[in-house]
Structure 1
């Protein structure tokens, strides 16, 4: 299995970890009954729980683009040291992004996000050109 595909698998596991942490933070504010129920009424999260929820939405978007990059690299047989490095950078950035967002690290959160985004974009460009 290529390094990039392994990185995609690890990115999925980071997503699971992020989901669990976000769910635990939310349950602390709204209660498990609300989370297990139909959620007919909207409850606002605050603080770290709200930031984790927004970070989760961001991760969904980032993971989609990273998955496209991995597919392009692997199917296009464009794997190289550069694409492998970029995949590792994406993983590191996502791991750092979760606490950076949850703890409100400004402007570091944005810089960390940009590093992961740029690494993914480089993978796409390498695969296409």
Structure 2
């Protein structure tokens, strides 16, 4: 299995971690299981602090993940297994892996750097899809 597919699978797992972290932290502030099991008609109560940051981190992850996933799958489908694709996949995954706790803890400048690392990863995968470079 190509390494970029493994990193895509780990990124899927990371997406689940984002969902669980945001849901669990928000659930604690919104009224627990009773609120979650209800019909939730009306306005959803806002969350604050770490719960709010984890929700934002999750939304941000799911803004970039479809692009990363589509590019990795396009690279595999077209046989573009090269250094740019592999390096980009690593940058995306590890940038996103570090992003969640950093955003959850409220460290803004590091968070922005990690977001940039993951975007550079996406751009490398895109570049590797279109430019013939050294195979991995």
* Bin of the TM-score, shorter chain as denominator length: over 0.9
Unaligned runs of 5+ in 1: none
The corresponding residue for 2:24 is: 24
1:47-85 CA distance string (max 9 Å, x none): 110111111111111111110110121112111123112
Q: Which runs of 4+ in 1 moved over 6 A?
A: none
Query: C-alpha distance in 2, partners of 1:54/1:46?
Result: 11
The corresponding residue for 2:11 is: 11
Is 1:105 aligned with 2:107? Answer: yes
Task: Tell me the number of residue pairs that the alignment of Structure 1 and Structure 2 aligns.
Answer: 129
Query: C-alpha distance in 2, partners of 1:124/1:36?
Result: 42
1:71-110 CA distance string (max 9 Å, x none): 1211121111231122111111111100111111111111
Query: C-alpha distance in 2, partners of 1:90/1:84?
Result: 10
Of residues 51, 57, 60, the one that matches 1:55 is: 57
Rg comparison, structure with higher value: 2
Query: C-alpha distance in 2, partners of 1:85/1:43?
Result: 41
Alignment of 1:1-129 (within 5 A): 1-30=1-30, 31-41=32-42, 42-129=44-131
- Backbone CA RMSD of aligned residues: 1.2
TM-score under structure 2 normalisation?
0.89
**Cα distance, 1:38 vs. partner?**
2.2
